[in-house]
Amino acid sequence: MSATPGRRNVDHLIVGAGFAGLAAAIKLDEAGERDFVVIEKDSDVGGTWHINTYPGAECDVPSQLYSYSFALNPAWSKVYSPQQEIWEYTRRVAEESGTLDRFVFDTAVLDARWDDDLQRWVVRTEGPAGVQEYAARTVVAGAGGLSEPRLPEIEGIDGFQGEIFHSARWNHDVDLAGKRIAVIGTGASAVQLVPELQQVAGHVDVYQRTPNWIIPRNEREFSSIEKAVFAKVPGAQRALRSFVYATLEARVPAFARFPVLMKAVEAQGRKNIAKGISDPALRAKVTPDYRAGCKRILISNKWYPALDADNVDLVTDPIAAVTADAIVTADGVERPIDVLVVATGFYVTEPPIARHITGRDGRTLADLWDESGMAAYKGTTFHGFPNLFQIVGPNTALGHSSMIFIIESQVRYVVEAAKAMRREGLAAVEPTQAAQDAWTAEIRRKMRPTVWQTGGCASWYLDKFGNNTTLWPGQTFTFRQHLSTFDLDRYDVEVSHEREAVNA
Ligand code: N01
């Protein structure tokens, strides 16, 4: 193909240097697919674990499972790893992989457009050196489902004169000691950061729209003997990892087929409330009225005691407006604040990256998804978008186990696809509409009896049509089985135009 001045040809363009993009880079490299770039808008690897630096940020999946299978870490300090430790782990894995020379940091993807003549994606990026254009055989999107902060639309919020920031964009320059702080949201992030704020703030108002089921966190540090055993006997660590994996998978039937079993979790949650909170009125406010599991089950030993503290108020009246220095609730009460922390989650079912990816017929992924919701073949590939692979795509997220297992399953599929394309001399592969529709129909069928669909709550798992387009509705090993080989027979394929001409 003729080169356009300034445009760089690459085989693979990977978007994002979090767990997904990093695994894709490492595994493509190992498979001999070395001509790739990784475009990362942040200044380093680690994705969510580099960006989310709010106080108390920790993983709620056990550390033994929250790591790559190909890079076990015997040095995890605790059962649930803190953010900094996870980020340092990703950095170390990246350095040791020898792939960092192909990472481009502080650079955003402006748009990606499939070019039928080139049989490549034309991708424009913008970074410190300006705008760069790439022509890539494949795009591997690993931008993450929880990366774009969702800011609440509340009257007057733009006119707030104090400090305001999202949990995922923590402003460490703000001194919180003695301040009056409001936190909007009571999800996984808020549950971790509020207990930390409670310790330093003068007063904290926590604005709750819906309570979550929160069970105790079985927290402890690994002893030096355990760490030495993990380092010297990798089999021991693998055995523990397998045990954690099996324990988490054993919960799937309760989520997916028999939500009534979740009553056991609710009993644990009620006990946790009773242990942490003495005031019956406050206990009532934090007790959910829907089936556990419908929203993500949270784990914390610190949340309820923090809410029970003298310097914390839980506010359940809806927020009516934000003024220059206060929050006003629907009952007319005005609560003055210095700092507003917005812990309101992320754009999950309308990911902004979808607006920047334009397929074969000139439509963006967002255009399609706006009409009928997110859908993909095997959570990874898209009819109408040849050679596009999304890691953590539609219906691949988990409510019960480690996303790294899913990421590795998808990365294997991408590598198998790259090998198949090279072996068969293919320029483009794209799942057939029939294959994608059948996959989506099967997901919807499996989703129907799950707690996420029947549990009686609103959650970010569901899109505007009421469909759960985010979670995988089963055990993770079945997902891995589905993606263990690249099933070319479910794809429309094209050889290169040059080869077509020779064969004609
Ligand atoms: O976000 P969320 P998050 N006015 O969407 C409320 C992962 N994670 O950042 O429930 C008032 O869960 C909203 O209320 P409601 C994990 O997968 C993992 O906390 O919609 N309130 C809710 O309380 C998690 O699930 C870790 O009624 C508003 C909160 O804001 C995901 O990230 C740690 C509002 C949003 O909760 C997201 O968690 C942290 C409004 N306008 C996060 N809009 C680990 O440990 C929203 N809310 C691995």
Q: Are 81 and 63 in contact (CB under 8 A)?
A: yes
Tallying the residues shown for the chain, one arrives at: 504
| pLDDT of the residue at 148 | 82
- Which residues have CB under 8 Å from 446's CB, separation 6+? 256, 473, 474
* CA 361 – ligand 1 centroid, Å: 36
* CA 460 – ligand 1 centroid, Å: 8
- Which residues have CB under 8 Å from 341's CB, separation 6+? 164, 165, 166, 167, 181, 182, 183, 184, 193, 197
The 3-state secondary structure of 424-483, one letter per residue: HCEEEEEECHHHHHHHHHHHHHHHCCCHHHHCCCCCCCECCCCCECCECCCCHHHHHHHC
- pTM value is 0.96
Reply yes or no on whether the pLDDT at 2 is more than 60: no
* Residue of 155, 191, 209 with the most ligand 1 atoms within 8 Å of its CB, for mutation: 209
Residue nearest to atom 13 of ligand 1 (CA): 185
Question: Residue ranges of the domains in the chain?
Answer: 7-148+347-503, 157-212+251-342
Residue nearest to atom 6 of ligand 1 (CA): 185
Ligand 1 atom with minimal separation from the 168 CA = 9
- Which residues have CB under 8 Å from 331's CB, separation 6+? 317
Alpha-carbon distance of 163 to 126, in angstroms, equals 29
* Residue of 186, 327, 344, 460 with the most ligand 1 atoms within 8 Å of its CB, for mutation: 344
- Which residues have CB under 8 Å from 235's CB, separation 6+? none
* CA 327 – ligand 1 centroid, Å: 19
Domains 7-148+347-503 and 157-212+251-342 share a fold: yes
* CA 222 – ligand 1 centroid, Å: 29
Q: Are 97 and 25 in contact (CB under 8 A)?
A: yes
Average pLDDT score, the chain: 96
| pLDDT of the residue at 456 | 92
Residue nearest to atom 12 of ligand 1 (CA): 187
As a whole-number percent, the residues of the chain with pLDDT over 70 amount to 99
Q: Are 476 and 405 in contact (CB under 8 A)?
A: yes
Reply yes or no on whether the pLDDT at 161 is more than 70: yes
Query: Could you tell me where the DSSP H helices lie in 171-302?
Result: 188-200, 224-232, 234-249, 252-256, 263-276, 280-286
| pLDDT of the residue at 81 | 97
Alpha-carbon distance of 63 to 244, in angstroms, equals 10
Which residues, listed in sequence order, are joined to residue 336 by a DSSP beta bridge?
326
Alpha-carbon distance of 400 to 395, in angstroms, equals 14
Specify the CATH class of 157-212+251-342 in words: alpha beta
Ligand 1 atom with minimal separation from the 60 CA = 45
- Tell me which of 2 and 42 has the higher pLDDT: 42
Ligand 1 atom with minimal separation from the 153 CA = 41
| pLDDT of the residue at 500 | 75
Alpha-carbon distance of 49 to 17, in angstroms, equals 11
Question: Exposed (0-12), middle (13-18) or buried (19+): which is 74, by Cβ within 10 Å?
Answer: middle
* Residue of 49, 184, 189 with the most ligand 1 atoms within 8 Å of its CB, for mutation: 189
Alpha-carbon distance of 36 to 112, in angstroms, equals 16
Q: Are 422 and 432 in contact (CB under 8 A)?
A: no
Reply yes or no on whether the pLDDT at 106 is more than 80: yes
* Residue of 146, 289, 407 with the most ligand 1 atoms within 8 Å of its CB, for mutation: 146
| pLDDT of the residue at 3 | 59
Give Dmax over CA atoms of the chain in angstroms. Answer: 81
> Which letter, b or e, does each residue of 93-129 get, where b requires 16 or more Cβ atoms within 10 Å of its Cβ?
bbeebebbebbbbebebeebbbeeebbbbbbbbeeee
Mean local confidence (pLDDT), 434-460: 95
Helix (H, G, I), strand (E, B) or coil at 108: strand
- Which superfamily does 7-148+347-503 belong to? FAD/NAD(P)-binding domain (3.50.50.60)
Ligand 1 atom with minimal separation from the 57 CA = 33
Reply yes or no on whether the pLDDT at 206 is more than 90: yes
Alpha-carbon distance of 239 to 49, in angstroms, equals 26
Ligand 1 atom with minimal separation from the 296 CA = 25
Q: What's the half-sphere exposure (Cβ side, CA atoms, 13 Å) at 101?
A: 5
Alpha-carbon distance of 147 to 42, in angstroms, equals 11
Reply yes or no on whether the pLDDT at 383 is more than 90: yes
Q: List pLDDT tens digits, range 388-407.
A: 999 999 999 998 999 999 99
- Residues with CB under 6 Å of ligand 1 are 58-60, 146, 152, 167, 184-190, 192, 207, 209-210, 296, 319, 343-345, 460
Residue nearest to atom 14 of ligand 1 (CA): 209
Ligand 1 atom with minimal separation from the 397 CA = 17
Reply yes or no on whether the pLDDT at 310 is more than 80: yes
Helix (H, G, I), strand (E, B) or coil at 348: coil
Ligand 1 atom with minimal separation from the 460 CA = 5
Residue nearest to atom 16 of ligand 1 (CA): 188
At residue 200's C-alpha, the angle toward residues 199 and 205, to 5°, is 80
Two tokens at 351?
Answer: 């990911």
Alpha-carbon distance of 47 to 403, in angstroms, equals 13
Two tokens at 358?
Answer: 């334009």
Q: List pLDDT tens digits, range 215-253.
A: 999 999 999 999 999 999 989 999 999 999 999 999 999
